Each structure stands twice: as C-alpha cells, then as structure tokens.
Structure 1
Amino acid sequence: MAALVSSVLLVLVVAVLVNTAQSLELHFYRNSCPQAELVVKRVMQKHFSIDPSLPAGLLRLHFHDCFVRGCDASVLVDSTRKNIAEKEAPPNLTLRGFEVIDEIKLELEKQCQGIVSCADILALATRDGVALAGGSAYALPTGRRDGTVSSFFDVHIPGPSFSVADALQAFQNINLDIQDLTTLLASTPQFKLDTSFYQGVLEEAAVLKLDQELAFTDITRKLALDYVNRPKVFRRKFARAMIKLGN
C-alpha cells in the first residue's frame, strides 16, 4: 500500500511540474485580454520618452524577482505587520519602476479585470524596455501566475563583489549558464543596449569586481570579444537570455 501511495504521489508531482512547465505560451491572453501586450507597450513608450533609463530599472526589478522564487511578482508585494516582504531586503532597497508596473496594472484592470498577472506585466514591460533601449524585440511567452509568498529572508541576489565563479553558481541555480551571465551583465545603469560594456571590460576599465573578472576568465573574455566584433549576435543572445530568465 505504501508503495502504491508513493507511486501515486510521484505521478501527481510529475503532472504538476509538467503542467507548470507548459503553462507559458505565446499570446496567452489572445482571447481573455487581447489588448494586453499593446497596453503594456503604450505605457512603456510614454514613460521611456520621459526617462530613458527606465529599461535598466525594470530589468533589474525583473531580475531580482525571477532570482528568488521564479518570475512570480513576489518582489512587488508590500510588507505587512506579520511579514517582511522581499522589497525590504538590502539588495532590493534601490529597485525602481514599481510605479510603472502599477500604472500598467491599472490600465489593464479597466479593460479586463483580474486577468493579466503582475508577473506577466513585469516580464512584458521589461521586454518592451529592452527593445526601446536598442535591443532586439522578441516574442515572450506569457501565462505566469503571481506568487503568494514574499519574504525578506529568501532574497539572495549575486552582488557586484561576487567572483565570476560565485555568480555563475547562483545563475546555474536558476538554470542560466556562463553565456547568460556574461550577456546579462551588459545591462548597465544607463542601459544603452550596445557592446560598449564589453569594450570597457576588454580594456580593463571595468569598475566592479565581477565585471573586471570577465576579462581574465577565458570563456567570458571570448564572449566579450565576440560581442564587440558582432553586435547583432550580442543583441540576439541578449534576447535569448531574457527569455530563459523569464521562463
């Protein structure tokens, strides 16, 4: 009997995991909220015209969200008397872009109340920000669900003082690899999405420890050289890394 129960539980767990993995799809809101992606794009265009550094803020916000419990918008949750949320953790105190996500959510609620998740709003806004900053536009699967747990104590984000090895370990924990790490590091505060970051790395002009080490690690140096020489390859791989991060 115990073996039978264990087998049934295993099947249920696998079924849940498969269902979760297959829940994201392109144009998830095509029927339930067909204007969703257009609304996100319009609000992003408006704010980008006022603040061209917005994409960098949203990318960092999205990254910090995905790094803790997956891309579930838990970083957007406010603290309560009984719970200190992710927002309050030291790495998240300088995050910005919350008001833009709030505005997009408000606009979407007017059109299709309770349909579009905050997790998808953040992912889509970040995607549009990448394109506005000069990156490649890319199709993004949607269908993310908002998380119900947000805890200060779960936040462990790789910082600028990390070595390449330490940062890679953290990235591998969320199914990203050395190429993704090297590629996503180009999202500087100014976030002009070009290869100037890698040029600085190769000239040993990087300031942060993690960035500096890219020039002295064989595989990351080769990637930096490739990106400097082939900007289109960089933009394509940046888009691919963003899709992996969002999944």
Structure 2
Amino acid sequence: MGFQIEKIWMAIMVVAICLSNGRVEAHLEVGFYSGSCPTAELIVREEVEKALTEDQGLGADLLRMFFHDCFTNGCDASILLDSTENNTAEKDAKVNLTLEGFEIIDHMKERLEAVCKGVVSCADILAFAARDSVVHYGGVHFKVAGGRRDGRVSSSADASILPSSDHNLSHLTKLFISRGLSQSDMIILSGAHTVGIAHCDAFAERLYDVHADGYEAMDEKYAAHLRQQCPPGSNNTVVLNPHSPYVFDNRYYKNLLSRHGLLVSDRTLLSTHGTMTQVKRYASNYKRFQRKFADAMFKLGEMDVLTGADGEIRANCRAIN
C-alpha cells in the first residue's frame, strides 16, 4: 500500500514539474485531426486539386512556400502573414516575392473554419498542401504529422538565411547544417526542382558567360534554347525541368548528369565524388528518390515547430489573432 502511495505522489510531482515549466510537452502526430476535424486533410487535398487543375504550376509554389516557411524560423506559417505598417513580413522579402498561391491557403482556411472553427492551424494546412502538391504531380503519398501551431512573428530580415540559386556546395551545406539538416537532406530536397520555374536573371550569367560560375559548361543545345527564351536583359521564366515539367519524377538528377542543370545551386551538387554519387543513385533509382524525399519532407516538417500551448491557431492565415 505504501509503495502504491509513493508511486502516486511521484506521478503528481512529475505533472507539477511540467506545469511549473509552463506546459506539458506536446508533439506532432500523424492523424492529429482524426477526432477534432476528420475532414481537414480531405479539404486541403480538394483545394489543391482544384487549384492545380486551373494552374498546374501552383503546386511548385506551395511546395517552395512550405520549404521557405520551415527553413526560416520553423514550420509556423510565418510566411503567410501579411506585412503591416510597422513591419515587413517574410513574404515581402526579395527571395519570396515570386511566390504565388497564398490565396489557395486562404480558401482552405475559410472552408476549415466553417466546419472546424479554431481547430486547424495554418502551419498544418501548408504542410498538408505541400504533400498534396507532390502527389498531384505523381509523386509518392507520404504521411504528414499534424499539431503545429501558428507563430505570431514574421520578419523579412529572417528570410536572408534561405538558400540562393547562386550558392555553391559548401555554402548550401553549411546553411542546411545550421538548420539541423544534413548535406544528404539538401541533395534530396533539391529534387523538388523537378517541377517549377526559374526567372532568367537567376541563371542568365551561365548563358552568356559559360565559364562564369566555374563549373562545366551547360549543354550547348540546351543553352541555345534557353538563350532564345532569355534574351539579354529579360526576366522571363522557364521551367526547371524541360523534359517533364509537371511530373514529380527523378528527372532532375538525370538533367544534372546530362549538363541540363539550370541553376548554380543545382550544378554544384556534382562538385565532389560523394555528392555526385548520390545524384547518380537518385537518377538511376526512382523508388529510392521517392522514399528518401518523403523522409526528408517529414524531417523538414518537424523543424522548430510550435506545439501545445505555444503559438496560436489563426482565424486568418494572413494575420495574427
């Protein structure tokens, strides 16, 4: 009897310690809304399908939006917040000005608020939408844990940490490691460039000064084609993957090996024997690429998340409550 009483008192003490620290530790969970909002993921998927049927390029924006959100300050939907009179938000940082698709998240949130008011976070909506975009393009379906809460702070200055199209392997590797991701994570997440577009000014130097970046020259036939689309001084857009621009396949890695890599940050993945080996591995094994990409996305989605009593559930993804 005395032993049982001691165990009860120990349990009470553990709870008291947790409460004294502010909250009981909370974690992300697959199927997080199965009880509180069973249709949450279905609604997000429906809105993704509707939007991408009208404009198939928007899925790449949603995927990039999720990456930019998580990489900056963690997956807290801070990238969705609008700027205010006294603050320039992340979405208005130069690196994010080309992002589209914010209104798609708005539609999802409106529908979810109508059926599950104050339940589903904008951060989770963005995570689900990124996954469903990959699936829409024919990529593997992977589980996404829920339970993130929304942040209350968004600053354009914080976006300065985001990888740039002109970064080399060393710089990219250091950036990813600083955010708790590995070089291998960086190489597999770069595979998302199998869909989407790039502006001419991000790679024009490679077209008109073939040795400017210090890497092996781009395939001349491909470069000639790009010069037609990107005359000097223009800032048109081209697809990142001309062979299958709206299919989530492993063509990105094949393009690198055939000198069809568009950006310096792509070509740099061939800089060392070790990184080239990984590129070759993903180029030759589609299933391995899909599996590793799913794992890396799950890891990305756990970066510096707010859970439990931290953050909030925004009523409007563009503004704090």
Name which of 36, 39, 45 aligns with 1:41.
Answer: 45
Gaps in structure 2 of 5+ consecutive residues: 1-16, 197-244, 303-321
Name which of 269, 274, 277 aligns with 1:214.
Answer: 269
> Residue in 2 aligned with 1:167?
172
Q: Does 1:127 align with 2:141?
A: no
TM-score, length-scaled by structure 1 = 0.90
Deviation, 1:154, is 1.2
> Residue in 2 aligned with 1:4?
none
CA 113–234 in structure 1, closer or farther in 2 if over 3 Å, else same? same
Name which of 108, 111, 128 aligns with 2:112.
Answer: 108
Counterpart residue type for residue 195 of structure 1: N
- Name the CA distance, whole Å, in 2 between partners of 1:41 and 1:23: 23
SS of the equivalent of 1:186 reads helix
- Name the CA distance, whole Å, in 1 between partners of 2:166 and 2:155: 23
CA 102–226 in structure 1, closer or farther in 2 if over 3 Å, else same? same
Over the aligned positions, Cα root-mean-square deviation in angstroms equals: 1.9
Is the Cα contact below 8 Å between 2:77 and 2:150 reproduced in 1? yes
CA 200–17 in structure 1, closer or farther in 2 if over 3 Å, else same? farther
> Residue in 2 aligned with 1:63?
67
Is the Cα contact below 8 Å between 1:55 and 1:191 reproduced in 2? no
> Residue in 2 aligned with 1:3?
none
Deviation, 1:18, is 8.2
Name which of 13, 28, 33 aligns with 1:29.
Answer: 33
Larger RCO of the pair (alpha carbons < 8 Å, separation 6+): 2
> What are the superposed Cα offsets for residues 133-159 of structure 1, whole Å, 9 maximum, x if unpaired?
111101111000100000111112110
Q: Which has the larger radius of gyration?
A: 2
Q: Does 1:79 align with 2:77?
A: no
Name which of 209, 217, 229 aligns with 2:284.
Answer: 229
SS of the equivalent of 1:91 reads helix
Deviation, 1:241, is 0.8
- Name the CA distance, whole Å, in 1 between partners of 2:24 and 2:184: 26
> Residue in 2 aligned with 1:187?
192
CA 191–169 in structure 1, closer or farther in 2 if over 3 Å, else same? farther
Residue identity over aligned pairs, in percent, reads: 43
> What are the superposed Cα offsets for residues 34-57 of structure 1, whole Å, 9 maximum, x if unpaired?
110111111111112222222211
> Residue in 2 aligned with 1:243?
298
CA 16–236 in structure 1, closer or farther in 2 if over 3 Å, else same? farther
- Name the CA distance, whole Å, in 2 between partners of 1:153 and 1:16: 30
Counterpart residue type for residue 119 of structure 1: A
> What are the superposed Cα offsets for residues 73-107 of structure 1, whole Å, 9 maximum, x if unpaired?
00000111111111111101111110110000011
- Name the CA distance, whole Å, in 1 between partners of 2:65 and 2:22: 28
SS of the equivalent of 2:179 reads coil
- Name the CA distance, whole Å, in 1 between partners of 2:299 and 2:24: 17
Q: Mean alpha-carbon deviation: is it higher for 69-78 or for 182-191?
A: 182-191
- Name the CA distance, whole Å, in 2 between partners of 1:172 and 1:17: 29
- Name the CA distance, whole Å, in 2 between partners of 1:16 and 1:202: 52
- Name the CA distance, whole Å, in 2 between partners of 1:58 and 1:91: 15
SS of the equivalent of 1:155 reads helix
- Name the CA distance, whole Å, in 2 between partners of 1:229 and 1:16: 50
Deviation, 1:191, is 4.9
Runs of 4 or more, structure 1, over 3 Å off, are 15-18
Is the Cα contact below 8 Å between 1:160 and 1:210 reproduced in 2? yes
Is the Cα contact below 8 Å between 1:198 and 1:225 reproduced in 2? yes
Is the Cα contact below 8 Å between 1:204 and 1:215 reproduced in 2? no
Counterpart residue type for residue 54 of structure 1: L
> What are the superposed Cα offsets for residues 156-196 of structure 1, whole Å, 9 maximum, x if unpaired?
21101001111111111222111111111122214521111
